[in-house]
Amino acid sequence: MQRADELAPTAAFRAGPVAGQLTGSALAACPRSACSGRWQLPGGTDRPALTSPEAAAEVLVAELAGADRERCLAALLDTKHRLLEVATVSVGSIDHTFMSPREVFRDALLANAAALVLAHNHPSGDPEPSRDDELVTRRLVRAGELIGVEVLDHLVVGGQRWVSLARRGVV
Ligand SMILES: [Zn+2]
C-alpha cells in the first residue's frame, strides 16, 4: 500500500493544463551540458523532484527545443521522483520504432530508476501528439508496469511548447 505523500506527486501529473511553454528563465537555467546525451547530476538531496509536467518540462523541453531531428529523452527518477539522470533513448528516426520499450527501459534499469518521464520533439514545431504517440505511450506504460518502472508522463515538444500525455489522460 502506498502512503498519501507517495501518491501526491503522481496526482500532480494528472491534473492541470494539458500544454505549456517554457519561459526564458527556465531556458537559461538549463544545464547545457545535458545536450550531449547522457549526463548525471551529483548525488544528494538537492536533485530536483519532477513531480509535475511543468517540472519535467523545465528539464526536458530545453534539451529538445530547437533540435532539427527527432530525439527521445527519458528523465530517470528515484522513488521520490527526484532526478537521477537524463538519458537519450534514441535520435533521428521518423517512425516511432525509436521509442521501443527496449530502448526506453534500458537506461532506467541500469540506473535503478523507479519512475521516468519521457519526452520527444517534433522538429516541425507542432507539439500536438500523433495517434502513434498515444499508442506507443500506452504500450510503454504497460511495459513499465510489468518491470516496475512507472511511466509518469510523456511530453511531446514542439519548439518551446509541450503537451502532456498524462494530462490528456493517456498515461
Ligand atoms: Zn511524436
pLDDT of residue 92: 78
How far, in Å, is the centroid of ligand 1 from the Cα of 85? 22
Strand partners, 121: 157
Tell how far the Cα of 130 is from the centroid of ligand 1, in angstroms.
6
Distance 95 CA to ligand 1 centre (A): 9
Domain residue spans of the chain: 4-164
The least confident of 37-41, 66-70, 117-121, 137-141 is 37-41
At 45 the pLDDT is 52
pLDDT of residue 38: 37
Q: CB neighbours of 16 closer than 8 A, spacing ≥ 6?
A: 52, 53, 54, 167
Distance 118 CA to ligand 1 centre (A): 11
Handedness of CA 144, 145, 150, 156 (dihedral sign): positive
What's the gap in Å between 136 CA and the centre of ligand 1?
9
Mean pLDDT of the chain: 82
Residue 114 CA to ligand 1 center (angstroms) comes to 24
Q: What confidence category does residue 17 fall into, taking pLDDT thresholds of 50, 70 and 90?
A: confident
Q: How far apart are CA 50 and CA 159, in angstroms?
A: 21
CATH number for the domain whose boundaries are 4-164: 3.40.140.10
What is the whole-number distance in angstroms between the Cα of residue 94 and the centre of ligand 1?
9
